[in-house]
Amino acid sequence: MQFEPPLIEAKLIKRYKRFLADVELEDGTQITVHCPNTGSMKNCAEPGSRVWLADSKNPKRKYRYSWQLVETSPGELACIHSALANKLVRQALEENRIPELAGYEQIKAEIRYGQEKSRIDLLLEKPNEQCFVEIKSVTLAMGDGLGLFPDAVSARGTKHLRELMQINKEGARAVLFYCAQHSGIKHVAPADEIDPLYAKTLREAVDAGVEVLAYGVKISPCEIVLEDHLPFCIDRRANGR
């Protein structure tokens, strides 16, 4: 997926109130931009970092620009726009680039389901089979290629795990898809230290039959594309990570 119009480079001053950030443009102008990420953005919001913005070209918007990419301290690129993960996965499915999820005839988005009134990111269908796919954007890089999810306590994420377990129990296929939108992430694991309940529920979900997939991306200020299958480690401590 190409960034159109081209992204604009800036320098991060600070992120605050979750959805806002102050940046300095190349000409020295300071502006406030929208930050499309509800997490803590740990390791992705250091003041002084190079960032890239999307211009809506809509002067009526309160915040015309939206923060998209950041260069993290090790020199890697991360996409902090969480919702782009859904678009990347859908595009890859339409182009038949995810072998584990091939063969479905229809793709539907944001379908209501479950006992807790959730919306599934993608519902894949073919005769006599449904596959519920919940997508999570991973940007918390811890070094040595390790990416963790979540980067903040996520009651919503835990709820989604419960919903996936229930839908799997009812006979449908349930898949949790980690999209690592960070060029430095080479394997993914649950963030036990940040949200132990999520990590515990994730292990219960895997034991119950929920499938877990992890993919990385190729990322630049020009485009971002879902690319490589990544290893997923359900218990990195047991594996010495």
- Rounded to the nearest angstrom, the gap between the alpha carbon of residue 200 and the centroid of all alpha carbons in its chain is 20
- DSSP one-letter code for 27: T
Q: Are residues 36 and 153 in the same domain?
A: no
Is the pLDDT score of 226 beyond 60? yes
Q: Are residues 188 and 133 in the same domain?
A: yes
Share of residues in the chain with pLDDT > 70 (%): 98
CA distance 215 to 123: 18
For residue 166, the tally of other CB atoms under 10 A from its CB is 16
126-173 tens-digit pLDDT: 999 999 999 999 999 999 999 999 999 999 999 999 999 999 999 999
Q: How far, in Å, are 2, 49, 90, 121, 217 from residue 85 at the CA level?
A: 14, 22, 9, 10, 10
Name, in order, each residue with C-beta under 8 angstroms of 167's C-beta and a sequence gap of 6 or more.
113, 114, 132, 174
The CATH code of the domain that includes 154 is 3.40.1350.60
Q: Are residues 221 and 149 in the same domain?
A: yes
Tell me what pLDDT residue 22 has. Answer: 98
Q: Are residues 24 and 91 in the same domain?
A: no
For residue 117, tell me if it sits in a domain. Answer: yes
| Number of domains present in the structure of the chain | 2
User: What average pLDDT does range 221-228 have in this prediction?
Assistant: 95
CA distance 90 to 107: 8
Domain region containing 123: 84-229
Q: Where are the beta strands (DSSP E) in 73-202?
A: 77-79, 106-113, 118-126, 129-138, 140-143, 146-149, 173-180, 187-190
Please say which residue of 23, 48, 79 terminates a domain. Answer: 79
For residue 241, tell me if it sits in a domain. Answer: no
CA distance 94 to 71: 29
User: What average pLDDT does range 32-48 have in this prediction?
Assistant: 96
Q: Are residues 40 and 101 in the same domain?
A: no
Q: Are residues 205 and 139 in the same domain?
A: yes
Tell me what pLDDT residue 73 has. Answer: 82
Please say which residue of 79, 102, 130 terminates a domain. Answer: 79
Mean pLDDT score of the chain = 95
Please say which residue of 48, 79, 110 terminates a domain. Answer: 79
Is the pLDDT score of 240 beyond 60? no
28-39 tens-digit pLDDT: 999 999 999 999
User: What average pLDDT does range 182-205 have in this prediction?
Assistant: 97
For residue 62, tell me if it sits in a domain. Answer: yes
Q: Are residues 222 and 135 in the same domain?
A: yes
For residue 192, tell me if it sits in a domain. Answer: yes
- Sign of dihedral through CA atoms 136, 138, 144, 145? positive
Radius of gyration of the chain measured on its C-alpha atoms: 18
Tell me what pLDDT residue 97 has. Answer: 97
pTM, to two decimals: 0.94
For residue 193, tell me if it sits in a domain. Answer: yes
Is the pLDDT score of 68 beyond 60? yes
Tell me what pLDDT residue 116 has. Answer: 86
Q: Are residues 44 and 143 in the same domain?
A: no
Q: Are residues 134 and 174 in the same domain?
A: yes
Q: Are residues 60 and 125 in the same domain?
A: no
Tell me what pLDDT residue 195 has. Answer: 97
